[in-house]
A and B are shown apart, each in its own frame.
Chain A
C-alpha cells in the first residue's frame, strides 16, 4: 500500500510537469490552431540556461530560473515572429513542417553549442525527503515544489484568461480571429503573448523536469514534449483545466506502467493511451465537441 502511495506521489509530481508543458501546447493550439513541435525543445533550452547560470556562473538557483524564463520567453517570441507569423495564411501542413524544422533546429543547434555530452543537472532541493507514517512514506521536496508550482500556475492562468484584458483578448482570438480583430484586438500581439507565456512555462517545466530526471542532453525535451502533447489531447486540447487533468493522469499512468508492467515499455504504454483516447473520445476528457462551420 505504501509502495502504491509512493508511486502515486511520483506520478502526480511527474504529471504536474507534463501539465505545465501541456499548458503551453494547449494555449498555442487554442489560439494559433497550430501544433508547436518546438515547444518540447524550448524546455531543453530553458534547462540548459538554468544549468549554465548555476553551475558555470555560480548564480543562485532562483536567478537561474528567472534567467531561463526570460531567455525562453524571448526565444518563443522570436520563433513565432520568424517562423510562424509569415505562415499565418498557409496550410496546416506547411506550418507543421516549419514547426518540426524549428524543433530540429533547436535540437541540433544545442548539440553544436553545448555538445551531446550528458550534463548532470544540479539538484536545487534538499535530498532528504519528508517522511510520513514513521518515515515509510517518503515525499521529496522536489515533488512538493513541482505540484505547488503547477497549482499556482494553473490558478494564475485561470485568473489571467478569465479576468485580465489580455486574457479576454486571447479567448476572443481563439474563438474567432476575424471578429476579434474587428473589435479592435491586436491579434498578432495576442498570439505573440501566447507564445511568450507558453515558452516561459516551458522554461519552468524544464527546470522542474531536470530536477527529477537530472540527465540533460539536447534531446531531453522531445520525449516530455510528445508526452505533454498526449496529455493535452487526453484532457481536451484547448482547455486549461484539461491540461492539468490530462497531465496528472498521464504522469500517474506512466509511473504505474513502469512500476507494475515494464520499465522498457512504459513509453509505449503512454502512447497507447493517446491512441485509445483518439479512438474513444478524440475531443478529450474536458474538451468540447465543436461543430464544423462551412
Chain B
C-alpha cells in the first residue's frame, strides 16, 4: 500500500516538473514569436514570483498546517533586501547579481521568519495567524520609515527620518515611504522559471524526507507526533523558515522586475491573494497552487475581466469561504462522495 502511494506521489511530482518546463517552453516560444500581448509579457516575471509565493505559502498552510496571513510581509522583506542588494553589489554580470540578490533576500526573509516563528510556533493554537497578520503591518511601517544610502564608505542606514549625509558620489537606495526607485530590471522569465523549479525541488524533497514526514505528522496530530518523540518547535520552525526564505526570494525576483517598489505594494490584500491561490489550488497540492497562481494573475489582465475588477476582492472572499465549506463540511462531503465518488472508499480519517 505504502509503495503504491509513494510512486503515485513521485508520478505527480515528475508531472508537475514536466508541466512547468513545458509551460516555460511554450511561453518562451510565444513571447519570442510575438504571439503574447505586451501586457502578458510584462506579467511573466510577476507570475513566476506569485507562483513561488503560492508554493511557499502552501508549504506553511498545506504541509505544516498553520496559517500565515503576513506572507506579503516576507515578500516585502525580500523585495527591499533584494533591490538594495542588487543596487549595492559590485557584480557586473546581471544573472550573477540577480542570483546573489535573491540569496540575500531569502536570508533576510528567513531571519524575519525565525524572529516571528520562535515565540509563536512553540505555542498551541491559532497564534501564528494573528502574529503574522501583525507582522505584515509592522514590516510596512518599518519599510516606510527606513532609509538606506550608499557612498564610497559603504551602506548607511537611517530610521524614521533621513539623516544620511553622503560624501560625494553617494546615492539613496531606499527612500522611506517613496520606496526604491530606478531599479535596474535584471529579473527575467528564465530566472523566474529557475526559481520555481528550485522551490518545487526543495518542497518535494522536503515533503519526502524524514523531516517532511515529521512536519506532516505534526499537522495531522500534534499530540500523537509529540508522544513518539518528534520535537514540535524544531520542525515547525524549519518548515516556516524555509517558507519565509522562499517568499523572500520571490520578493526579490518581483522587485527586480519593476521600476519602483513601495511598501504598500505588499499589504494585507497581497497576503490574502496568495492565500486564495493556495486554497483554490488545494492545500498541500503544489501543481494546484501553480495553476491557481498563474490563472488568477493572468485572468484579471484579460480584457473580458476588466469590467469585474471592482468585484475581484469580493469574489476572492467568497471563494475562500465556499472552498472551506465545500471541503470541510461533513454534510457536503457526504453528498459529494455519494454522488461522484461512489466507487472510491473514503481514504484515511480526515482530521
Binding site for B on A (CB under 8 A): 34-35, 37, 83, 86-87, 89-98, 100-102, 104-105, 107-109, 111-112, 222-223, 226, 229-230, 233, 262, 264-265, 267-268, 271-272, 274-275, 278-279, 282, 292, 294
Contact = CB atoms under 8 A, between A and B. Distances in A.
A111 B269 CA distance: 13
Interface of B: 61, 65-67, 69, 116, 118-120, 123-127, 129-131, 133-135, 137-138, 141-142, 144-145, 160, 223, 268, 272, 275, 279, 283, 310-311, 313-314, 316-321, 324-325, 327-332, 351
Contacts of B125: 92
A229 B283 CA distance: 27
Contacts of A262: 160
Contacts of B310: 112
Q: Closest 6 A-B residue pairs measured CB to CB? A: A101-B320, A105-B317, A90-B328, A271-B134, A104-B317, A101-B321
Contacts of A267: 137-138, 141
A223 B116 CA distance: 19
Contacts of B130: 35, 226, 229-230, 233, 274
Given A101-B321, A108-B313, A96 B160 contact: no
A98 B327 contact: no
B325 A86 contact: yes
A92 B328 CA distance: 11
Given A267-B138, A294-B223, A91 B320 contact: no
24 contacts: A34-B126, A86-B328, A87-B329, A89-B330, A90-B324, A93-B67, A93-B283, A94-B324, A97-B320, A98-B320, A100-B67, A100-B69, A100-B275, A101-B319, A104-B272, A105-B314, A226-B134, A267-B137, A267-B138, A268-B137, A271-B135, A274-B134, A279-B119, A292-B124
Nearest to A268: B138
A278 B320 contact: no
A97 B137 CA distance: 19
A98 B120 CA distance: 21
A229 B130 CA distance: 8
Contacts, number: 130
A100 B330 contact: no
Contacts of A223: 137
Nearest to A101: B320
A37 B130 CA distance: 9
B328 A226 contact: no
Q: Please classify the interface of chain A as helix (H, G, I), strand (E, B), loop, or mixed, using the class held by over half of its residues.
A: helix
Contact of B126 (A35, A83, A98): A35
A278 B316 contact: no
A198 B119 CA distance: 29
Contacts of B324: 87, 90, 94-95, 97-98, 101
A96 B126 contact: yes
Nearest to B351: A91
A282 B130 CA distance: 14
A274 B116 CA distance: 11
Given A229-B130, A264-B141, A271-B137, A222 B321 contact: no
Given A108-B314, A108-B317, A271-B134, A100 B126 contact: no
B14 to A, nearest CB: 29
Contacts of A222: 268
B346 to A, nearest CB: 15
